[in-house]
Amino acid sequence: MGGASDAEQIVLRLSSLDFAWDIERALEFALFRTFAVPSISSLLHKTGTFRNETRKRYDDTEILISEVVENGFESDRAHQAISRINAMHSAYRISNGDMLYVLSTFVFEPIRWIERFGYRALTSEEKQALYAFYRQLGERMGIHDIPENVGEFEAFNRAYERAHFKFSESNVAVAKPTMDLMLGFYIPRFMWPMGRPVLRAMMDPPLLKAMGFKPAPRLVVGLVMFGLRARRWGLSWLPKRKRPHFISRVSRPTYPVGYRIDELGTFPGCPVHRQSSNG
């Protein structure tokens, strides 16, 4: 990442070395959290991708963001990824408020996850870097009225959730297959019913209410919190990761022989192409 800004370098380090697993999990929940806004979930439901191609829709989002994080804003691959994101979004009617809220989750869900479960706290410089990075991404996506600092952006995030988290059938329609996808990363299908309370244990009451989900049993919540905090304690004593984990290089069943950036994303009436290479 020659010539990358301090913010880009910090976000790359956090995402690929210091908190690679934590930030990947936090961004899964960031995506999931957006489903509690009916104007977002209804659009996603109408496209049909969360019903018919849940894994592809998840992978495409993760890959496009990772191409920017891992290669830097001025790289050709980041330019291609952002152009693809913008082309995809322009094919649908999406409010600036919804776009801004989604952007805010990419800043604050990692911060909140690491505050709860990370092996160390983020520094103020690291939090500022996350804000600066995603602010720049938002500007390149044409999102306007981005708050001027971290505190104002977090206040927007909280206020938007209070105003827009509401139950809708479309919330459930996109959330349930996504929950099953997330469980499928870790456990076989027959164990999914046992795994769903584990995911609910990490959801706060407003999110549960907007999804129409029952809170997880207290015992499950206690065990999940104990396990994640035990992991935090253990990691604080273990040697730190030295080999970076790059999400864009992860092998995926969705793209068994690799991908091209210009085939990622969801477009009206576009077929899915999978025979390509990212090498």
Residue 268 resides in a domain: no
- CB-count exposure of residue 98 (10 Å: 0-12, 13-18, 19+): middle
pLDDT of residue 82: 96
Report residue 51: phi and psi, to 5°.
-90, -40
pLDDT of residue 4: 55
Q: Which of 88-92, 108-112, 248-252 has the lowest mean pLDDT?
A: 88-92
Half-sphere exposure of 156 (CA within 13 A, CB side): 21
Is the predicted pLDDT of residue 266 greater than 60, yes or no? yes
Residue 1 resides in a domain: no
Is the predicted pLDDT of residue 201 greater than 50, yes or no? yes
Mean pLDDT of 36-41: 95
Cα-trace Rg, the chain? 18
Q: What is the Cα–Cα distance from 30 to 106, expressed in whole angstroms?
A: 6
Q: Which of 14-18, 80-84, 123-127, 180-184 has the lowest mean pLDDT?
A: 180-184
Residue 105 resides in a domain: yes
Residue 247 resides in a domain: yes
Mean pLDDT of 200-225: 96
Number of domains the chain is built from: 1
Mean pLDDT of 135-151: 96
Residue 270 resides in a domain: no
The better pLDDT of the pair 91, 38 is held by 38
State the residue range of the domain holding 52: 6-263
Mean pLDDT of 94-112: 96
Residue 273 resides in a domain: no
pTM, whole model, 2 decimals? 0.90
Is the predicted pLDDT of residue 68 greater than 80, yes or no? yes
Is the predicted pLDDT of residue 271 greater than 60, yes or no? no
Is the predicted pLDDT of residue 229 greater than 70, yes or no? yes
